Structure 1
């Protein structure tokens, strides 16, 4: 590396000497799924090569999702159909003992009933704060955060607790299973307010990819500042491996 600040193609910032030292410590990459490695049922073409490059470099990885509407087996099958083999130990979801979560079968009467129970001061939990779920179809998939906003409008009450990202405890399973410290994990995702915010809350490396929800306009408007902003996971992989193999 010729200087303390070097630009990498596809990376939306210069790489400082401090960031280089943090990247050198990374032993594990925690990956958001939809919008990061695929979009709906469409695998990003660079994902297989990115995962293979991590393996070849001795960097392990796992998959995290804030969407508990499917079981781990369903997600493994979804990945398998797209040509990404994975095992249950590599998959982490937000806890499923919740009141509000992503629900593609939600109907008006159930929403009204949920709002009534919330107004009666029953314990109120949400699986995640995501407003929408990424998709490759011409539709907006309303996610948990938007449902909670609807309930808040009717009841003036927020969830007592929001599980999953950005709660830093979402990384506890990876830390324990892999025997890692938080500074040895890079959390990669397409959302500032969940993926990157969780990384910052946990003192992990927060990597934003622009392949899903977030745009550079969102970056400019947000108080959540990613450590690295990359065009996609492949570009982040190039940076990570360039630093670690130097």
Structure 2
């Protein structure tokens, strides 16, 4: 049954029930450069009670180190080992699951977060922000070293990037097609803008096939990494997010309870609608309300 957390007693009971809290970031803790009211206080409350905190974000535009700087700027305590992003998951997947060859490189349609996480795993890359601003329609030369194309959120995407991605995926035998996540939108400037899923859609349509792998939520890669590194008890874990089709499904698929906040994508009307098949365990108006 979907529970609405509203009273002080309900908030205290919710916090006491779990040892581990997994957080989405955009739409839960902040929107762009605007942190939501009460977030530092609520996060400090969890820390004071000895709770373990992990940040699980589909945002691939920043590296984990960049996320730490953002947390620090907002006055939120965080450690590198607590941050799991789709860019990090993508690099780890290439390195440890695909055993990506050292003589190959990755072509990126996305931002520097992907590039930096690939570098951290010793994987060479090209494209990304280096190809931003290119407007020519010249032929794409062959580059047989490209063994994978990774697409994430790219606010400077252009036709040249799409042309290169498509060329490598169709010309290079065995070239992997990986998407960091398929969020269709993300919250920004008090509105919603196209997300990584929308950026990847033209290549999916042009190829006429699905990606070989999608690494962000609701896929379980990041939860598996957290379990492997931190040995959390899933029965004492709660996923907190603002999207039903990513955050809440991620928690449900992983066998953990979920809390939906109403500061991001999902509205109360959608959450409670009889047509909605993805139900969180709890919902609350805002994460910062836990500190009231």
Q: Give 1:10 deviation, angstroms.
A: 7.5
User: Hey, what does 1:54 align to over in structure 2?
Assistant: 46
For residue 28 of structure 1, the aligned residue among 7, 12, 20 is: 20
2:185 is equivalent to residue 193 of structure 1? no
Calculate the TM-score normalised by the size of structure 1. Answer: 0.80
Contact 1:25 1:183 in 2 (8 A): no
Instruction: Indicate how the Cα distance of structure 1 residues 5 and 111 shifts in structure 2: closer, same or farther if over 3 A, else same.
Output: closer
Per the TM alignment, residue 87 of structure 1 is displaced from its structure 2 partner at its CA by: 1.7
Contact persistence 2:182–2:197 (CA under 8 A): yes
What's the CA shift for 1:23?
Answer: 7.1
Structure 2 residue runs without a partner (length 5+): 92-148
Query: Which residue in 2 is equivalent to 1:226?
Result: 280
Q: Given that residues 4 and 282 in structure 2 are in contact (C-alpha distance below 8 angstroms), is that contact kept between their aligned partners in structure 1?
A: no
Gapped runs of 5+ residues in structure 1? 240-246
Tell me the equivalent position of 1:126. 179
Q: Which has the larger radius of gyration?
A: 2
Q: Is the 8 A contact 2:154 2:199 kept in 1?
A: no
Moved more, 182-191 or 83-92: 83-92
Asked if the contact 2:186/2:194 (under 8 Å) is kept, the reply is yes
Counterparts of 2:153 and 2:224 in 1: how far apart (Å)? Answer: 23
| 1:30 Cα deviation after fit | 0.7
Match for residue 76 of structure 1? 68
Q: Does 1:209 align with 2:209?
A: no
Query: By how many angstroms is 1:41 displaced?
Result: 0.5
Pairwise CA distance, 1:137: 6.0
- What displacement does 1:39 show? 0.8
Please, what is the CA RMSD of the aligned residues? 2.9
Quote how far apart the aligned CAs of 1:166 are.
0.7
User: Which deviates the most, 187-196 or 217-226?
Assistant: 217-226
Shift of 1:55: 1.6
Q: Which residue of 2 aligns with 1:244?
A: none
Structure 1 or 2: more strand by fraction:
2
Contact between 2:240 and 2:258, CA under 8 Å: does it hold in 1? yes
Query: How much does 1:6 deviate?
Result: 8.3
1:184 is the counterpart of 2:181:
no
Matched residues in 1 for 2:40 and 2:291: separation? 14
Distance 1:6 1:109 in 2: 48
Relative distance call for 1:6 and 1:169 in structure 2 (3 A) is: closer
Cα gap change, 1:62 to 1:5, in 2 (>3 Å): closer
Q: Would you say how many aligned residue pairs link Structure 1 and Structure 2? A: 226
Q: Is the 8 A contact 1:10 1:231 kept in 2?
A: no
Out of 92-101 and 81-90, give the one that drifted further.
Answer: 92-101
Paired residue secondary structure (1:134): strand
Distance, in Å, in 2 between the alignment partners of 1:89 and 1:198 is: 20
